[in-house]
Amino acid sequence: GDSVTQMEGPVTLSEEAFLTINCTYTATGYPSLFWYVQYPGEGLQLLLKATKADDKGSNKGFEATYRKETTSFHLEKGSVQVSDSAVYFCALSDLRAGNMLTFGGGTRLMVKP
């Protein structure tokens, strides 16, 4: 079945540092890919998405490019802020099963001032 693997955390960075969170996937079809963010005590929020190969999703300074050849969707940000501290989840959707999402295990990001 489909699966998503993302780097384990926590990732601890200083403010204004460069962020990369790796995400790779396995899927039998052509999934859409997502990054969701979860702030403490809250539900998940969509951060960005890409629906086909070579698409780049971007939002709030975060970017990720759908790389079919490497089955990856790494999340990047050029300069993180303390307010970016959260748990980040990579996910893919399966159109064949009610658009259900398959999630990676999540990566906790801690940004220190």
Q: How many CB atoms lie within 10 A of CB 35?
A: 25
Query: Should residue 80 be labelled a site residue for another protein when binding is judged by CB under 8 A?
Result: no
Evaluated on CA atoms 63, 65, 66, 72, the torsion sign reads: negative
Nearer Cβ to another protein (98/113): 98
* Phi, psi dihedrals of residue 84, rounded to the nearest 5°: -85, -5
Distance between CA atoms of residues 29 and 9, nearest Å? 29
Are 49 and 31 within 8 A, CB to CB? Answer: no
Choice from 30, 45, 76, 113 touching another protein (CB under 8 A): 45
Nearer Cβ to another protein (73/102): 102
Nearer Cβ to another protein (11/17): 11
Choice from 28, 42, 69, 113 touching another protein (CB under 8 A): 42
Write out the residues near another protein by the rule CB under 8 A.
Answer: 4, 8, 32, 34, 36, 42-46, 49, 51, 89, 91, 93, 95, 97-106
